[in-house]
Amino acid sequence: MELPNIKILDEKNKTLRQISQKVKFPLSNEDKKTIQDMLTYLKMSQIEKYYEKYNLRPGMGLAFIQLGIPKNIFVIVNEVDDEQFENYVIINPKMISHSEELIYVGEGEGCLSVNREVEGIVPRYARMRISYQDENGKECEIRVREDLSVAFQHEMDHLNGILFVDKIDKNNPFKDKDKMREI
């Protein structure tokens, strides 16, 4: 596998604070290539021989805005078994519904745009249903839970110019921890 030449913006870059724009179809060839590059990069970042060789931080999701492209597109690469992955290409997502139950990632959330350790919990919905369009513009709906729900919410925040660090209470990073379930 060849490592794609993509440049992920750091949190200090103001572009990450832009609100992404709705995508029109058909997708350009450039957008299709960017999607494939992002999927390949994320897969390689989760396979030990590649992340060691290229010094990659493992990542599960990337939004176009993290590459400096303000379009409503994100991808998620979820490892379901050893080096077996499910790919999600999500365009123009909208949350339809979510659980009342809140969860948080025990070891803390991370982000390929945030190159530092961050203490604190990020409240997320345990389950969520979203509508979106696939690469061909077809209307789709998906229900996600647990880790995938966290990843989808994290990437949807990116589309709105929000970083996970914004959701951590600065004065009390572990606020309301007892009201949520750790995953």
Residues 67, 45, 56, 109, CA torsion sign: positive
Q: One of 30, 135, 141, 155 is an active-site residue; which one?
A: 155
Q: Classify residue 142 as exposed, middle or buried by CB count within 10 Å of its CB (0-12, 13-18, 19+).
A: middle
Residues 56, 57, 60, 61, CA torsion sign: negative
Q: How far apart are CA 28 and CA 22, in angstroms?
A: 14
Residue 115 contacts by C-beta under 8 Å, 6 or more apart in sequence? 10, 11, 57
155 is catalytic: yes
Helix and strand numbers, DSSP H then E, in the chain: 3, 8
Angle at 119 between CA 113 and CA 124, to 5 degrees: 75
By annotation, the residues acting in catalysis are: 155
